[in-house]
A = this chain, B = another copy of it.
Amino acid sequence: MKKPVTIHDIAKMAGVSSATVSRVLSNSDYPISAAMREKIQRIAKESNYIPNLFGKQLKTKSSMTIGVIIPSISNPFYSSVILGVEGIARQNQYNVIVCNSLHDAALEEEYLKTIAEKQIKGLIISSIATDKGLLKTLIDTGMKVIAIDQKVDEDGICQIEFDYRKGGYMATRHLLSKGHRRIGYVTLQMDRPSRRSIYQGYLEAVEEAGLEPIMQESAEEDVYNSLYEFNIGKKLAGKLLEMPSPPTAIFACNDVMAFGVINELTSRGLQVPGDMSVIGFDGIEYGQMIHPPLTTIKQPDYEMGKMACKMLMDMLKGDADEPMFDVLLQPKLMERSSVAAMGGEPR
């Protein structure tokens, strides 16, 4: 395991100075004789030269890397976001480093530190922490930050959000328009802005229609595990069914929860949507694979990633004029087959 070859080694082999080698190998537009250039490139290739980015980055103070902090890639919603981010980053010769905070504020902070130490100047974050202290000082030292999905109320942070409230409103309106009057809402613990907003939308639509909200919130702190969410969906659906006057339609705060709801209903012998309508939220692909295909509210996840990265690139390049505006991505109703119109009188 011999030690790696450096530009100095190459310089020696080529009988030139390391400056010349550097100029050739970093593709600068510095004038170099064609012969020299070719010779150096040949030697570099033959000796399997691998540039050491530390040296370069220490000197140039630019890592060409952005960071992304999300709760967990195992959530298909976030993995879509990431793929969107990476596509744009790659186009701009940037690398992406992904950090899963796993819904752990301490871990999020640790990653934040690492990112800062790696001299990363751009960050896209879906923050779950409530203490934004560190984040704030990083911004003060020049880090560009884009908050996605979860709102961060700090100066100097661009927001790219979904209009969760409207999404919640739309879902509920859809159920209403199908004649449902008793609409249940099941949700994970409302410890995050996004979840509270969806519920807001639900509430608004229900109250607007002069109806009573029927809500079940999970008491359990959530872990990022789909199966876990699925089971909460089952459980909360059960609670709804055991009410004296159960709803005729159930709105779940995300698709996996909706899968749980449908599963519980089915296993109790109820037909979806015949006996009970179900609508989800997120629009993950698996929604099209289950039976019945899930009617849901689609959040443009991949697009969110692309847009966040585009804005970040802009901020990173034009170091003066930062595009200080927020983006509110619009939800879309995906009408599939898990919602039916109420026939006649409510049971």
Hey, which bits of chain A sit against chain B, CB under 8 A?
1-2, 4, 48, 50-55, 57-58, 63, 72-74, 76, 79-80, 82-83, 86, 95, 97-98, 100, 113-114, 116-119, 137, 141-142, 225-227, 230, 256, 259-260, 262-263, 266, 285-286, 288-291
Contacts and interface: CB of A to CB of B under 8 A. Distances in A.
Given A50-B116, A95-B114, A141-B1, A289 B290 contact: yes
A283 to B, nearest CB: 11
Given A73-B98, A226-B286, 18 more contacts: A1-B141, A2-B141, A50-B116, A50-B117, A51-B117, A52-B119, A54-B57, A54-B63, A55-B58, A58-B58, A72-B79, A73-B73, A82-B100, A95-B114, A225-B285, A226-B285, A227-B288, A259-B289
A227 to B, nearest CB: 5
Nearest to A87: B102
Copies of this protein in the assembly total 2
10 contacts: A1-B142, A48-B137, A54-B58, A54-B119, A73-B79, A82-B100, A95-B114, A98-B98, A256-B289, A260-B289
A285 B259 CA distance: 12
In order of increasing CB-CB distance, the 8 nearest A-B pairs are: A54-B58, A259-B289, A1-B142, A53-B117, A74-B79, A73-B79, A227-B285, A73-B73
B288 A230 contact: yes
A266 to B, nearest CB: 6
A109 B119 CA distance: 25
Contact of A80 (B74, B114, B288): B74
Contact of A118 (B53, B263, B266, B286): B53
A245 to B, nearest CB: 27
